[in-house]
Amino acid sequence: MGQYNFDQIIDRTHTKSLKYDFAVKRGKPADVLPFWVADMDFEVPPELKPILLDRVNHGVFGYTESDDEYFDVLKNWFSTRFNWTPDRKWLVKTPGVVFALAMAVRAFTKEGEGVLINQPVYYPFSMVIDDNDRRLINVPLIKGEEKYTIDFEGIERAIVEENVTLFLLCNPHNPVGRVWTEDELKRLGDICIKHNVLIVSDEIHADFVWKGHTHKVFADLGESYAEHCIVCTAPSKTFNLAGMKTSNIVIHNKELQKKWKDYVNGSLSMDGASALGMTAMIAAYTEGEEWLEQLKDYLDGRITKEEYYNQAEPFYTEYANTYENPLFHKCFMDKVPDACLLYIDEPGLTPEIKESRFHEALQEAYVTLEKL
């Protein structure tokens, strides 16, 4: 057991929470249980709270800007965790990654041009295309038996046929969970460079890559790839700081950066940063690493079979005993608990295989029930 209590349930109602207090206005039942990836229900690392309170107690919230400390903390996080060292002159700040995606669409494409995505993907990807009168070009991911893969041939064909000028890449991918390999990213990059397509790489979930996998920052693939991409990052998903509205966008190419600043800062006057957002980011990247590692272990669900049986066996026994026929009881108790254990600690199996085996076990139990 770690030092943080991730089992604590926190009532978020009456806090202006979008997913709780505004559920009805968004067409959901009042008692809906929101399964959001973008907004966790864990409390932020406790180390952050006194730092934020100290800033609040100062009592003045005037215009603010990032300084050397801000960038040094950001650079250290990426260099130590991803072996990538961004340059300060590449950095621009935005109030969010989705905002950055929308600004990229508006700054680097024209109305009627094609913007490519790979569905299923985080819904704002299509929203920022449709809302800005660009043509949404979808080349779906290929669903295999064990994992999703990229349709490279389909992407290149769509780029040529649909006048695609920008590609919104989700890296790692939300929601299918793929961590794209370096070879996959390079192949994508080669296609886009060949056809002069700008890649905007949303890497906000990079901190949640599990053990055994390695996140590769797209801009770190090589100079030519860095010149043809924009990398979007933020501490919001990692540390549950979405409401702080602070994201860091990395633009290596000088011409692209000038075009971005001319549009976003010049046309929209969106320069500057949030005082509390910057404070939260510095605190999170400085003090929150141990909390993050313990959170990942918690989310990974690594409990032993003995622990699982102790918790789940009474439930399975009670359910199986509702059917008096001993054949069903034996089938259910033999198959279903072990199938559920695949989710817990069976190494080397993909989530798709685990799910398939789980449903096979359930189906066998229910077929037995139908025959009784």
Residue 318 in tokens: 């009670």
Which residue reads 């992407």 in tokens?
155
Amino acid at 364: E
- Predicted TM-score (pTM) of the model is 0.80
| pLDDT on residue 345 | 47
CA separation for the pair 183, 163 (Å, rounded): 25
CA separation for the pair 366, 83 (Å, rounded): 50
How far is the CA of 36 from the CAs of 20, 21, 237, in angstroms? 11, 14, 11
| pLDDT on residue 119 | 95
| pLDDT on residue 344 | 47
pLDDT per residue over 323-341, tens digit each?
566 665 666 566 555 555 5
Residues with pLDDT less than 50, the chain: 344-345
| pLDDT on residue 78 | 97
pLDDT per residue over 169-180, tens digit each?
999 999 999 999
CA separation for the pair 285, 282 (Å, rounded): 5
Residue 329 in tokens: 């009881």
Amino acid at 204: I
